[in-house]
Chains A and B, each alone.
Chain A
Amino acid sequence: MSTYVTRRLGQALFVCLGISLITFLLLHVVGDPVLLLLPQDASDADILLLKQKLGLDRPLPTQYLVFLAGALRGDFGESLFTQESVLALILERMPATLELTVAGMLVGLGIAIPLGVVSAIRRGSLVDRLCTVSAVAGQAMPIFWLGIMLIILFAVTFRLLPASGRGTAAHLVLPAITLGAYLAPLTMRLTRSGMLDVLTQDYIRTARAKGVSERVLLFKHALRNAAIPIVTILGVQFGRLLGGAIVTETVFAWPGVASLAVKAIRTYDYPVVQGSVVLLALIIVLANLATDVAVTYLDPRIRLGEERA
């Protein structure tokens, strides 16, 4: 077990290093921060002065190592506009993003897993067909449009819920539904196919032949084994969910890390962009790592197979 976890940790570290390098190269090589920050008619002296001030006159490898060393200490520099520490800015907004992400995940899974299970049990029925059609439609729905439609309906027309911002539980309802609706269709389809796989296994047929009740069969035999693909889905979906959070936070003016990053991208506040992209990607890497480890606990065949390989 420890060999497998160590190996996955090593891979995760490599991915984190790659993420930091690509983000750095994107912001410093593909784009020149100084040229993007200064007006077009800035003189050479102005350009040189700003480069020196921001430490951008040093060779690129040195700049990257300085960035990496800082990042390892949790120092991502300061915002170019507010002069606040980037880490402090991100940490200040992280609870909002986590709150939205967890609420969105709960809504999404709360819809998707029961519907996926029911769809699989009643395969081919009207319920199954309705669920499948809803999932296909849901996957095609742009969530920024869905968010706006929900605002028009529930905040403007019926005046039931606030249209934007964060504060009370009511503020969380529309963003969580939007994010949940983004997560639910694919999760439902994957849960359905995972359950269908399990339900066609020999041991289910044997249990049924032995006279085990459908309820015990479903909850004790099928769902427990279908948990493996569902946990894997949870890990993969967490990354998607953070992607969805970027859109949802923008539509609902939700004060999270994603909206901070989008604002920083618009103003080219590159230390904030660097810090938020790297930290959000790090969360995704950690979520994937935790998923892999959880799955090996649930299914020892994966662990043993990897170790043998």
Chain B
Amino acid sequence: MRSWRRLRFLAVGGAVVLLAIACAVLAPVLSPHDPYAQAVGVRLLPPVWEPGGSWTHPLGTDPLGRDLLSRIIYGARISISAGALAVAVSMALGVLMGLLAGYYRGTIDTVISSLVDVILAFPFLLLALAAVAVVGPGFGNMVIVLGVTGWPIYTRVVRAETLKYRERDFVQAARALGLGSGRIIWAHVLPNLLNAIIVMASLEVARMIILESFLSFLGLGIQPPIPSWGGMLGEGRVYMLTHWWLAAFPGLAIFLTTLGINLFGDGLRDVLDPHRVLTTASARVE
């Protein structure tokens, strides 16, 4: 019963994630309109069920007359790719640091662990905001900033696991056979950590999507006219007193996507890494 419920989480979450990825990949096919096409004559149209709404623009239009549904579908491209790329950067950095700290211990461990302690004590969002302000807005810069500021969480978990595995018999045997440290780490330690890393990364994608959205919401991330959920929410906020849908739908897209990813990540954790009840990913200080 319990495992079925978990698998249901995995299935529902996976379906939502697949739907979001399908939207991102098939955006040109799925969108009813060009997301950049402005039409002053139909600006600020309400959704179809509100008085004045039409099926031509099911979720209404923005202040420039652009179709909201099309922009949300295209927005999936930005949010999902930004989240996935930021996770790829932070995971690569964090796993490497964690392996080095856990395997070599000593001075390397002290330096890396101290750096992790310092970065985890930062208000993460403020650090990311300050970094984006310094390097400037834009997709590439934002991915790098989120990736570079998000690595310590992987390091902490990977270091702890590496410390455990480096004392295990099969690693000692590999060492006795004369294998180099690099080969031992790559071929014997890392494969044992993959499940934990995959689970952590899947949950981190959701957090990175929310952070990307907030940076874009503040105008520090993706710049207009590129459709991004956070940017659209930021634009919609200006009109929230009179045109609620402009802020409601992009936010709903963020919520449903991150919910799907979290369900998928939770389900994945129970399948791949059942001993970890709550990953540090969800408990980290932001």
Interface membership of A203, Cβ < 8 A: no
| A145 cross-chain contacts in B, Cβ below 8 A | 233, 247, 251-252, 254-255
Q: Mark A168-211, 1 if CB is under 8 A from B, else 0.
A: 00000000000000000010011001000000000000000000
Interface membership of B117, Cβ < 8 A: yes
- Kindly name the residue among A14, A19, A144 whose own CB sees the greatest number of chain B CB atoms within 10 A: A144
What is the CB-to-nearest-CB distance from A285 to chain B, in angstroms, rounded to a whole number?
5
Interface residues of A in 262-281 (CB under 8 A from B): 262, 265-266, 268, 273, 276-277, 280-281
Q: Are B255 and A243 in contact (CB under 8 A)?
A: no
Interface residues of B in 237-286 (CB under 8 A from A): 237, 240-241, 244, 247-248, 251-252, 254-255, 258-259, 261-263, 266, 277-278, 282-283, 285-286
Interface membership of A87, Cβ < 8 A: no
Q: Are A240 and B286 in contact (CB under 8 A)?
A: yes
Interface membership of A152, Cβ < 8 A: yes
| B244 cross-chain contacts in A, Cβ below 8 A | 152, 156
Residue of B nearest to A280 (CB): B123
Q: Are B259 and A277 in contact (CB under 8 A)?
A: no
Q: Are A265 and B277 in contact (CB under 8 A)?
A: no
C-alpha spacing A17/B146, complex, angstroms:
23
C-alpha spacing A251/B125, complex, angstroms:
15
Residue of B nearest to A156 (CB): B241
| A302 cross-chain contacts in B, Cβ below 8 A | none
Counting chain A residues whose Cβ lies within 8 A of the other chain, the interface size class is: 35 or more
Q: Are A142 and B262 in contact (CB under 8 A)?
A: no
Interface membership of A246, Cβ < 8 A: yes
C-alpha spacing A141/B233, complex, angstroms:
14
Q: Are A281 and B278 in contact (CB under 8 A)?
A: no
- Kindly name the residue among A11, A30, A36 whose own CB sees the greatest number of chain B CB atoms within 10 A: A30
Q: Are A30 and B131 in contact (CB under 8 A)?
A: yes
Interface stretch, picked from A21-29, A57-65, A67-75, A88-96, is A21-29
- Interface majority SS (helix, strand, loop, mixed), chain B: helix
Contact among A11, A137, A148, A262 for B240, CB-based, below 8 A: A148
| A19 cross-chain contacts in B, Cβ below 8 A | 118, 121-122
| A45 cross-chain contacts in B, Cβ below 8 A | none
C-alpha spacing A285/B119, complex, angstroms:
11
What is the CB-to-nearest-CB distance from B267 to chain A, in angstroms, rounded to a whole number?
11
Interface membership of B197, Cβ < 8 A: no
Interface membership of B179, Cβ < 8 A: no
Query: Which of A's residues lie within 8 Å of B, judged by CB?
Result: 11, 14-15, 18-19, 22-23, 26-27, 30-31, 36, 136-137, 139-142, 144-145, 148-149, 151-152, 156, 163, 186, 189-190, 193, 236, 239-240, 242-244, 246-247, 250-251, 258, 261-262, 265-266, 268, 273, 276-277, 280-281, 284-285, 288
Q: Supply 25 A–B pairs (Cβ within 8 Å), ascending by A.
A: A14-B118, A15-B121, A30-B134, A31-B134, A139-B282, A140-B262, A142-B258, A144-B217, A145-B252, A148-B251, A152-B240, A152-B244, A152-B247, A152-B248, A190-B283, A239-B286, A243-B123, A243-B126, A247-B125, A262-B218, A277-B122, A277-B123, A277-B126, A280-B123, A281-B123
